């Protein structure tokens, strides 16, 4: 079992999540930092509208409950790319997502995937901004 450290800043969230899901299914432990700096591709107005609909869909007391904070949204995207059986649940236990860089990760080498980088000519929205507009409380 290998420990992999990934920096999610300026990476497309969906593409990065699929890479992370593959690593988790191999049995590796994955630590993701700077989740709030990852990007969601698409028109920002449409992205906000889609996530706002997910939040407003449920009853505040009985659900379904949708996450608002950036690290939980990121983890939920990775969860959606894993199998819905016991193998996927076990793999998800190996994922740790952090909003920003922590001091405990000093000296670690962080990976960035070239194929998950944002292209400058496409429209995108920062996950931290989305989280703030959805009403997440900042720590």
**Chain center to CA of 122:** 19
Domains and CATH numbers, the chain: 3-134 (3.90.1180.10)
pLDDT digits (tens, 9 = 90+) for 72-100: 999 999 999 999 999 999 999 999 999 88
Residue 49 near residue 114, CB atoms below 8 Å: no
Treating both helix axes as pointing N-terminal to C-terminal, what angle do 127-134 and 70-80 enclose, rounded to 10 degrees?
A: 110
Residue 79 to residue 10: CA distance in whole angstroms: 21
Q: What is the pLDDT of residue 100?
A: 82
Looking at residue 139, its pLDDT comes to 62
Q: What is the mean pLDDT of the chain?
A: 90
pLDDT for 14-49, tens place per residue? 999 999 999 999 999 999 999 999 999 999 999 999
The dihedral over CA atoms of 40, 46, 49, 50, expressed in degrees to the nearest 10, equals: -60
């Amino acid at each position: 079992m290998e420990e992999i450290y990934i920096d999610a800043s300026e990476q497309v969230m969906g593409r990065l999540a699929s890479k992370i899901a593959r690593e988790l299914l191999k049995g590796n432990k994955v630590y993701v930092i700077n989740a709030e700096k990852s990007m969601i591709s698409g028109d920002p107005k449409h992205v906000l509208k889609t996530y706002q609909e997910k939040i407003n869909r449920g009853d505040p007391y009985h659900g379904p409950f949708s996450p608002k904070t950036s690290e939980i949204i990121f983890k939920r995207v990775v969860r959606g790319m894993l199998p819905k059986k016991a193998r996927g649940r076990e793999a998800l236990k190996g994922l740790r997502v952090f909003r920003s860089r922590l001091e405990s990760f000093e000296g670690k080498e962080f990976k960035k995937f070239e194929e998950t980088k944002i292209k400058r000519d496409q429209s995108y929205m920062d996950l931290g901004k989305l989280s703030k507009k959805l009403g997440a409380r900042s720590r």
